Amino acid sequence: MILSTVIEQLLWGMVTSVEIFLLTLLFSLPLGLVVAGGRMSSFAPLRWLMKIYISIMRGTPLMLQLIVVFFGPYYLFGMSLSSDYRFIAVIIAFTINYAAYFAEIYRGGIESINSGQYEAAQVLGYSKIETFFIIIMPQVVKVILPSVTNEVITLVKDTSLSFVIAIPEMFTVAKQIAAADASIAALLVAGVFYYIFNVIVAFVMERLENRLDYYE
């Protein structure tokens, strides 16, 4: 297969990889903040529930979570699922997995903020919600951005795990081409694509970090 055809097919696979990447961030970043709030709650049952959730998500392989989310509804409840559910299952599994990691990153950032800032905001008449989103959260974002960047870069590479439930993302397409041609050329091209993708992500995150330097 000629190189231009390989690149064209891989680009179609990369579209799926980018969709998984963007949708995972869209859902897991806010969900992680909610989980972090529950993890720090004074209500003990909720706090322990979130600790158990985080422990399971971080302590088991993402590949296993993909399989459970995809096959679980059928084997547990006898539900018949459409082929469209494959992509939905990938997004669900990636979201709940990465939300757990982001939750711990958020928690570390929030707990690093001096408690005196909460007291000062209270004196100035800010409500708890206003204090968190106007005063605390911008500082937390600056603190946690390097850790978030590491997770985002990992997410780029983890999108290849969706092959386990037959989602044709870029790595899956590359393997199919390599098997058909008995050549690793497609895999090498896919590696270059992943590298470029990560370089772009790292560049964007670095620019964002530089924009927040006013907190130093």
Closest CA to 64 of 84, 96, 93, 25: 93
The residue extents of the domains of the chain are: 3-215
Who's near 216: CB < 8 A, 6+ residues apart?
Answer: none
Who's near 16: CB < 8 A, 6+ residues apart?
Answer: 162, 167, 168, 169, 170
191, 114 contact by CB (below 8 A): no
pLDDT in 10s for each residue of the chain, 216 residues: 566 677 777 778 888 889 999 999 999 999 999 999 999 999 999 999 999 999 999 999 999 999 999 998 888 887 777 778 889 999 999 999 999 999 999 999 999 888 788 888 888 888 888 888 888 888 898 889 989 999 999 999 899 888 888 777 777 788 777 777 767 777 888 888 888 888 998 899 888 888 876 544
**Identity at 193, one-letter amino acid code:** F
Domain spanning 3-215: CATH superfamily: MetI-like (1.10.3720.10)
